[in-house]
Copies of this chain bind each other. A is one copy, B any other.
């Protein structure tokens, strides 16, 4: 009976290397919806956020490759489109899973306009966004890079709080893909071409609505030390102090476990009580304290 902010990775929707075929994505999303429904069936309230990497990548590619036919939309608008794509399929799958299990709960998807905004280096980021920056990625060549600013707040926190309500048990999907990054400039909200880390966004979202429990679902069942080495060992428990030490020791690589651990530290140092990192398969067990890596303040 806990209020849980749950962040699921893009691989819960379209695993790396798997087909972007709509029916394949739909099947994968149905499995994800089933695991999430386990939490709801156990009586928890859930606010759900999700990654959007493969989807927004596809939308950007579609925009770029047809620029002779249709003026391409900027990244913030493409991000909004990806939130709707995922949110629509997720909500439908959740409603169907609820119906199959005779769970009488509503699902609300406040898709795109959930935007964490940040106030640092505004001008610089806006200027950078005018032209694409490219960087070499050892995994496959040149890729577009965009700024990844730290989110500071969620614009629609009132809306999310209202939908979460008191006891109605609505499952709210929000801040998908990290939310759309917007800044305040001359008193106006302006979208910027940047990507917010979805786990940091989940931490800020939980803080904004005052929820104390954060669940990050990724593709490993637990956090490991010496990941991939013969000395690899999984962690059942972790404190903030230990997490910071392992981060400093380079145990959690950037772009992988690093941002997740950073998000959990951010969350626990700003009002959060407890966080757990696990994979979709162990979601319900991990929330019950019997799987995953449990992270506490001390």
Residues of A within 8 A of B (CB): 19-22, 58-59, 61-63, 65-66, 69-74, 76-77, 80-85, 87-89, 91-92, 95-96, 99-100, 106-113, 155-156, 158-159, 162-163, 165, 168, 170, 180, 182, 187-191
Q: Check A113–B85 contact: CB distance below 8 A.
A: no
Q: Check A80–B87 contact: CB distance below 8 A.
A: yes
Given the complex of chains A and B, what is the CA–CA distance between A71 and B21 in angstroms? 5
Q: Check A66–B65 contact: CB distance below 8 A.
A: yes
What are 21 A-B contacts with C-beta separation under 8 Å? A21-B71, A61-B66, A62-B62, A62-B65, A62-B69, A62-B70, A65-B66, A73-B85, A77-B88, A77-B89, A80-B87, A81-B81, A99-B188, A108-B110, A108-B159, A110-B110, A111-B112, A159-B170, A162-B165, A162-B170, A163-B163
Given the complex of chains A and B, what is the CA–CA distance between A109 and B179 in angstroms? 14
Contact partners of A191 in chain B: CB under 8 A: 88, 92
Q: Check A22–B92 contact: CB distance below 8 A.
A: no
A69 partner, pick from B65, B80, B163, beta carbons under 8 A: B65
